[in-house]
Amino acid sequence: MGAFPQTQYFTGLNEPVGQEVDLKGLKVEGDLPAEVRGSFYRAVPDPAFPPKFENDHTLSGDGMISRLSFNDDGTADFAIRFVQTARHKAEVEAGHARFGKYRNPFTDDPDVQGIDRTVANTTPVWHAGRLLMAKEDGRPYRVDPITLETIGSYDFGGALKSETMTAHVRIDAETGELFFYGYEADGCASTKVAYCVVNPDGTLKSEQWFDAPYCAMMHDFTISENYALFPIYPTTADLDRIKAGGEHWHHEPELDSWLGVMPRYGDVSEIKWFKGPKGCHSYHMMNAWEDESGMLHFDACLNDTNAFAFIREPSGIVMGQQDIKGALTRWTVDPKADGGEVTETLIGPPGDFPVIPAKKQGKPYKTGWMLTMNPDLQGPPLLAGPVGVDFNLLLRFDGMDTPAPHVTGALPLPPLAGFNEPVHVPASDPSKDGWLVMIVDQQTGDNQFVHEAWVVDAGNIGAGAVAKVTIPTRLRPQVHGWWVPQTQLDALG
């Protein structure tokens, strides 16, 4: 077995860990709010073996599912397990990597052709009492929410036809329905997109297929009360390139972006396409909502190019990470119009990992939170994650349902520290803001790190953590998380 490449994706905080742990009765310092009772699940990519290709990166890492549970007695438990994907098992069996480049099956060892190559490493999705580890290049894996044992690849009881399911689903808290899509639904570099609605009991209610304007990396989407919104940004796949052993994604700055809008219970033939700016890209949307006049607003963390250097570089885009321009950006369209162009408004600073209360999904909302870089940092940032630098400032926005949202709170970290994406824990009193829970990483020496879970008052983030749990084991950066209240875990029986 060779060594891991000595690149930013495999060194420092990004150094692979690959250790399954079970830590019980961890001490919670400070005042843990009674409302923070439940489990914080996290998806963590962590390659078990050095990759076949030196230019491999974060997105290929084997999925690990992590659970931080806050106990009745005021302590916390922490566990992490590999998702036992078919790919992980095939590699453990051989003792080395057998699958090749990110989303390029033509670079795999011949004897693993046909084995499901997804790594289930992006989002733990909780719906209808099931926990799914999702990644956009394949179907999710179902995991036991208590033991973290892998149950197996999940296809909604045989109902799902799409070969893929996105890692970014949307749940309407009022109806309990799960909305999702899968792109490249029938194979590598296909334009087919499957749009799916899942009943509150977890049964698949509908699956409809449509064609995207081109094969794009469709990482996230949104719903509003009446519509489903599909953004298309020009990070594109090409089958010939992939067959020749090239990268799955290239970013194309000269290509238009699009926003597809359809009635969320309608027929895919009703999709209208609204044109956006050329060359832009967003990984995550904060929300979509309709105002009183019926205009539809789509709020996204938009950049002028793809945020990942390992996508820009093979595309011939030469620029430093710090030269990317971005903003929390609103695209407004009249959903009754027959297409046209989006109206773009910049409503906040650059950043990513937007968070809103689950009950505001698809609805006019007042408040959101987001991670960004602290412009006043008095020292070096923490080098980690897929872009190479960790976010170190948490912001709160209010007035999201107005034309001019504004920053109403900020929590900066010191040098050499970074936030992982927070989850929102609702308050029992709906007029209260609830809590944000997240892992904070801090570098304390040469290849030495401290990892803490922070519980922050979502209504007063500037006050910092009201409670903290030190996690006494090395952690790799997380992608997305999910909060599951204890009442829902108890209801599993």
Contacting residues toward ligand V55, per CB under 6 A:
45, 59, 121-122, 135-136, 219, 283, 479
Nearest distance, CB of residue 121 and ligand V55, angstroms: 5
Comparing CB distances to ligand V55, the nearer of 39 and 164 is: 164
Nearest distance, CB of residue 58 and ligand V55, angstroms: 6
Phi, psi angles (nearest 5°) of residue 461:
-65, -30
Element (H, E) at 485: strand 481-485
Q: Are 193 and 230 in contact (CB under 8 A)?
A: yes
Q: Annotate 332-382 with DSSP letters as a single string.
A: EE-TTSSSEEPEEEEEE-S-EEEE--GGGTTS--S-EEEEE--TT-SSPPP
Region of residue 323 (left: phi > 0; alpha: psi -120 to 50; beta: else)? alpha
Q: Are 88 and 117 in contact (CB under 8 A)?
A: no
Comparing CB distances to ligand V55, the nearer of 184 and 457 is: 184
Nearest distance, CB of residue 35 and ligand V55, angstroms: 29
CA distance 485 to 47: 30
Q: Are 467 and 75 in contact (CB under 8 A)?
A: no
Exposed / middle / buried, residue 293 (Cβ in 10 Å: 0-12, 13-18, 19+):
exposed
CA distance 262 to 346: 24
Tell me the residue type at 208. Q
Comparing CB distances to ligand V55, the nearer of 32 and 216 is: 216
Comparing CB distances to ligand V55, the nearer of 234 and 426 is: 234
Nearest distance, CB of residue 156 and ligand V55, angstroms: 21
8-state DSSP, 476? P
Comparing CB distances to ligand V55, the nearer of 299 and 421 is: 421
Comparing CB distances to ligand V55, the nearer of 426 and 481 is: 481
Nearest distance, CB of residue 57 and ligand V55, angstroms: 9
Comparing CB distances to ligand V55, the nearer of 68 and 134 is: 134
CA distance 257 to 273: 10
Nearest distance, CB of residue 387 and ligand V55, angstroms: 9
Q: What is the dihedral of CA 392, 363, 427, 412, to 10 degrees?
A: 10
Nearest distance, CB of residue 352 and ligand V55, angstroms: 8
CA distance 259 to 261: 6
Nearest distance, CB of residue 355 and ligand V55, angstroms: 15
Query: Nearest-CB residue to ligand V55?
Result: 59
Do β-strands 150-153 and 141-143 pair in parallel, antiparallel, or remain unpaired?
antiparallel
Comparing CB distances to ligand V55, the nearer of 7 and 408 is: 7
